[in-house]
């Protein structure tokens, strides 16, 4: 019985720290996968915002247009469309 409680006291916080670390890593890496490695593509994801665990807003650039879409488990829904904004490159000093 003592060994069971000892294992529980050691493994339970360890599992909690692993869960916390994986959530932090997932948040840090969010949006980095699937990004083009370079060059120009016809479709580019400009920005994404999570509204809930199952709902996300995304701005997609396609042929000089920016399209606002909602993504959920049911698929994509186009919400709005506008001309693409000119891209500005930030100078890092």
Q: Is residue 92 part of a domain?
A: no
Indicate if 40 and 26 belong to the same structural domain.
Answer: no
Q: Is residue 40 part of a domain?
A: yes
Indicate if 58 and 43 belong to the same structural domain.
Answer: yes
Indicate if 26 and 40 belong to the same structural domain.
Answer: no
Q: In this model, does residue 89 exceed pLDDT 70? A: no
SS3 for 21?
Answer: helix
Distance from the Cα of residue 61 to its chain's centroid: 17
Indicate if 56 and 25 belong to the same structural domain.
Answer: no
Domain count, the chain: 2
How would residue 60 be classed by pLDDT, with cut points 50, 70 and 90?
A: very high
Q: Is residue 90 part of a domain?
A: no
Q: Is residue 13 part of a domain?
A: yes
Q: How far apart are CA 1 and CA 36, in angstroms?
A: 55
Indicate if 40 and 20 belong to the same structural domain.
Answer: no
For residue range 4-44, list pLDDT tens digits in order: 999 999 999 999 999 999 999 988 887 666 555 555 678 88
How would residue 82 be classed by pLDDT, with cut points 50, 70 and 90?
A: confident
Q: How far apart are CA 15 and CA 27, in angstroms?
A: 18
Owning domain of residue 55: 35-85
């Amino acid at each position: 019985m003592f060994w069971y409680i000892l294992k529980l006291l050691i493994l339970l916080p360890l599992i909690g720290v692993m869960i916390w670390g994986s959530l932090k890593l997932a948040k840090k890496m969010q949006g980095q996968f699937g990004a083009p490695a370079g060059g120009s593509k016809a479709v580019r994801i400009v920005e994404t915002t999570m509204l809930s665990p199952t709902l996300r807003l995304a701005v997609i650039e396609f042929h000089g247009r920016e399209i606002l879409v909602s993504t959920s488990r049911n698929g994509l829904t186009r919400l709005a469309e506008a001309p693409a904004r000119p891209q500005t490159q930030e100078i890092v000093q």
